[in-house]
Structure 1
Amino acid sequence: MPRRTATMLASTLMLIALLCAGVFIRVPYAEMSPGPTVNTLGDHGGEPVLHISGRKTYPTSGHLNMTTVRVTSADYKMNLVEAVYGWLAHDNKVVPHDTLYPDGKTEEQSTQENAEEFSQSQESAKVAALKELDIPVKSWVIVSTVLKGSPAEGKLHAGDVIKSVDGTAVKAPEDVAKLVTKHKPGEKVRFTIVPAKAQAAAEKENRTPTEVQNVTITTAKSDDTGEDRAIVGISAGTDHTFPFTIDIKLADVGGPSAGLMFALGIYDKLTPGNLTGGTFVAGTGTIDDEGKVGPIGGIEMKTVGAREKGAKYFLTPKDNCATAAGDVPDGLTLVKVDTIGDALGALKDIRSGDTADLPKCTTKG
């Protein structure tokens, strides 16, 4: 066999061996890629994403699209070839597996957490939109979760309304921890609550609940390092009663990052005219009850997905701007927002065509 032919054959066999090895070698990485975008003003799966009843609504047009990111599942074992391909692909991003699934989190645990965050983002979106419209919303502090094996287990339950701690009225979720940590571990703390079932019944009957209970719990020492800190093993949150019904229906989506776009969609449906002026606007960002917009993950994937669907403007959380501006899809303008008010101001400029002074993202923020 001629030497040149033998060399080419050896090289080919070596390449095949390397490719085979790459297929079988598993690496601790996961992949992110652009996911679907959904118009919050439109339909999805044959029904409106936003449905409002009990209040006058107005026709809308254009797009206010929320954006998503696809990720490989927690139990997916990426091979070396896939990892290299992902690193080289412009629209994908390969990250350490623990970035998406920390502490060995399972697929089921991640899905549950994402569902809870998605539900909370919907509530905050409703509150933020209605507050921006000066529509009153009733709010109260509740038990969000009870840690298994904690002193509160069996005594407090998710959904219980916390009226006071040791006789001091509770006005915000953070008040609960402050009042509990005034105690030393092993001391008793008294919660005054309205049980979750009683609260739900009162809401259904449109009355103020009267079923108040006092619950005494012996505090335990937290697992934190440093100074001893008293805990009872709950997290507190906020629940709301709205003056009319706002339903958000969107299956197979999780996480908190659609909050801003849901809030804008609700605002648009409750006000005359069109927020976008018919323009295709997409965006992302968490939102809290006060309308503050927070950063999200996978911003580069979301801008790509939005532009592929036809978006011209992308509402970008202020804290994501520097990263997003590093690789902007052609034809897409990144608009920096920090609050729902910022977003509404930007949309006013977009629909009027006066976009020269839009607050645009740069690599500096």
Structure 2
Amino acid sequence: MKNRTLIRIMVVMTVFIVATSFYYLPYYVTKPGSAHELDPIVKVEDGFDDKGEFMLTTVRMGKANIYAYLIASFKKYEYIYPVEEIRNPHESDEEYNLRQLQLMENSQNHAIEVAFKAANKPYHYNYKGIYVLNVYPEMPAADILKPGDRITAIDGQEFESSEEFIQYVGKKEKDDKVEVKFIRNDKEKIETVPLKEFPEMPDKVGLGISLSDDKDIVTDPEVSLDTEEIGGPSAGLMFSLEIYNQLTKPDLTKGYPIAGTGTISEDGEVGRIGGIEQKIIAADKAGAEYFLAPDDTISEEIKKNNPELESNYSTAKKTAEDIGTDMKVIPIKTFDEAIKFLQSLPEK
């Protein structure tokens, strides 16, 4: 009888644990991710080999159930964020994931452009249209467009950038209608959409979407990147270095395992990213000897509102000291600065 009661209790507890593990709180939990070698991810046609390794670093992030929330509350370098600090207002999980993948695609384009310019190799862009990232629920587009749609024309007019698109629609007035040509699941559709004032900006009318340029970069030699489900723009710097290293004969790695992070702009500026502490831990576990960290400048206005905010480099250096790693953290502001540092390394 006692054994049956004990079994029943265990079954009930198991069912309870399983059931509650699928109940998500309005929070995200982030923790140290991993460091990925870039050789298998980035391929330049007939590119040069390296003796060392460039690595991108990641942060693991997921919606928090009660157990993940409790564990993160006690573990150092695991952080809890309210949903509104991760996702944009009105943004669904699907829209967030699409935005991260599009940011990664833009980051890849910027990285290729920067590397090819530095190597003096030819490239150009094929513009495909406007990529729909988000659709605002109270705006006209909500009944017609979906995240992931690609707008190719408005009123029969094609555009060469999202700026041209925004300027064209911005000249319209409330209740004007536009004919939208778009592609969804490889099928072309044409719909008429009225324009409406934005709730937060009553002096501005629009479709009610957030958008990004959808374009492909064409290079000679050809570059392919297999990023699978890696999202976000933070691998831009490391992509650009790996591509440049395969385009040019001198090996920038000099035989070292080198990790890093940072966004990259078209002009080679390295930008701030999130989760720098967790990426330091990931790089250290992967055996990196150097870590390239964005040395971003924090404006006085931002510093005034966030007095404890530090640059990525400062935070990374403190984390490296805290975990006792021998890995050296290097401050980087631009692609050119990263190249100069790597060229200064002695051969291993």
TM-score (norm 2): 0.70
Cα shift at 1:177: 1.4
Cα shift at 1:315: 1.1
Q: Structure 2: where are the runs of 5+ without partners? A: 1-19, 297-311
Cα-to-partner distance string for 1:81-109 (whole Å, 9 max, x where unaligned): 524422xx3x4334445534566966555
The residue number in structure 1 matching 2:213 is 237
Residue 112 of structure 2 aligns to which amino acid in structure 1?
Answer: K
Matched, 1:67 2:51: no
Cα-to-partner distance string for 1:22-80 (whole Å, 9 max, x where unaligned): x99x9865432221101113xxxxxx222233xx4212121211001122x31522377
- Looking at structure 1, the residues matched to 205 and 72 of structure 2 have their Cα atoms a distance apart, in angstroms, of 46
Cα-to-partner distance string for 1:99-121 (whole Å, 9 max, x where unaligned): 34566966555444433333332
Residue 320 of structure 2 aligns to which amino acid in structure 1?
Answer: V
Asked if 2 retains the 8 angstrom alpha-carbon contact of 1:74 and 1:105, the reply is no
Cα-to-partner distance string for 1:104-155 (whole Å, 9 max, x where unaligned): 966555444433333332233222222222323222362111748429947x
The residue number in structure 2 matching 1:340 is 335
Change (3 A) 1:39 1:238: same
Alignment length (residue pairs): 296
The residue number in structure 1 matching 2:17 is none
The residue number in structure 1 matching 2:175 is 186
Task: Write the mapping of 1:71-82 to structure 2, written as runs, cut at 5 A.
Answer: 71=61, 73-74=62-63, 76-78=65-67, 81-82=70-71
Aligned to 2:65, the other structure's residue is in SS state coil
Aligned to 2:66, the other structure's residue is in SS state coil
Among candidates 119, 140, 143, match of residue 130 of structure 2: 143
Asked if 2 retains the 8 angstrom alpha-carbon contact of 1:34 and 1:304, the reply is yes
The residue number in structure 1 matching 2:118 is 132
The residue number in structure 1 matching 2:269 is 292
Cα-to-partner distance string for 1:189-245 (whole Å, 9 max, x where unaligned): 688x8x879xx9xxxxxxxxxxxxxx9966512324344212134524141341343
Among candidates 305, 319, 328, match of residue 320 of structure 2: 328
Q: Structure 1: where are the runs of 5+ without partners? A: 1-22, 42-47, 201-214, 354-365
Cα shift at 1:271: 0.6
Cα-to-partner distance string for 1:264-306 (whole Å, 9 max, x where unaligned): 1111111102112112211011223333322111000101211
- Looking at structure 1, the residues matched to 94 and 74 of structure 2 have their Cα atoms a distance apart, in angstroms, of 28
The residue number in structure 1 matching 2:290 is 313
Asked if 1 retains the 8 angstrom alpha-carbon contact of 2:26 and 2:64, the reply is no
- Looking at structure 1, the residues matched to 228 and 314 of structure 2 have their Cα atoms a distance apart, in angstroms, of 31
Aligned to 1:328, the other structure's residue is in SS state helix
Cα-to-partner distance string for 1:314-354 (whole Å, 9 max, x where unaligned): 1112222233233324323222223222221221123479x
Cα shift at 1:166: 9.8
Change (3 A) 1:166 1:224: farther
Change (3 A) 1:160 1:351: farther
Among candidates 252, 263, 269, match of residue 275 of structure 1: 252
Give the CA RMSD over aligned residues.
3.8
The residue number in structure 2 matching 1:262 is 239
Change (3 A) 1:99 1:190: closer
- Looking at structure 1, the residues matched to 87 and 193 of structure 2 have their Cα atoms a distance apart, in angstroms, of 34
- Looking at structure 2, the residues matched to 346 and 224 of structure 1 have their Cα atoms a distance apart, in angstroms, of 49
The residue number in structure 2 matching 1:5 is none
- Looking at structure 1, the residues matched to 56 and 120 of structure 2 have their Cα atoms a distance apart, in angstroms, of 24
The residue number in structure 2 matching 1:203 is none
Residue 171 of structure 2 aligns to which amino acid in structure 1?
Answer: K
- Looking at structure 2, the residues matched to 75 and 93 of structure 1 have their Cα atoms a distance apart, in angstroms, of 11
Change (3 A) 1:99 1:233: closer
Residue 133 of structure 1 aligns to which amino acid in structure 2?
Answer: A
- Looking at structure 2, the residues matched to 171 and 112 of structure 1 have their Cα atoms a distance apart, in angstroms, of 22
- Looking at structure 2, the residues matched to 153 and 317 of structure 1 have their Cα atoms a distance apart, in angstroms, of 41
- Looking at structure 1, the residues matched to 142 and 118 of structure 2 have their Cα atoms a distance apart, in angstroms, of 40
Asked if 1 retains the 8 angstrom alpha-carbon contact of 2:258 and 2:289, the reply is yes
The residue number in structure 2 matching 1:220 is 195
Aligned to 2:230, the other structure's residue is in SS state coil
Change (3 A) 1:231 1:344: same
The residue number in structure 2 matching 1:85 is 74
Identity of matched residues, %: 25
The residue number in structure 2 matching 1:206 is none
Cα-to-partner distance string for 1:145-199 (whole Å, 9 max, x where unaligned): 1748429947xx944556x9998x95542232133212322335688x8x879xx
Residue 196 of structure 2 aligns to which amino acid in structure 1?
Answer: K
- Looking at structure 1, the residues matched to 68 and 335 of structure 2 have their Cα atoms a distance apart, in angstroms, of 42
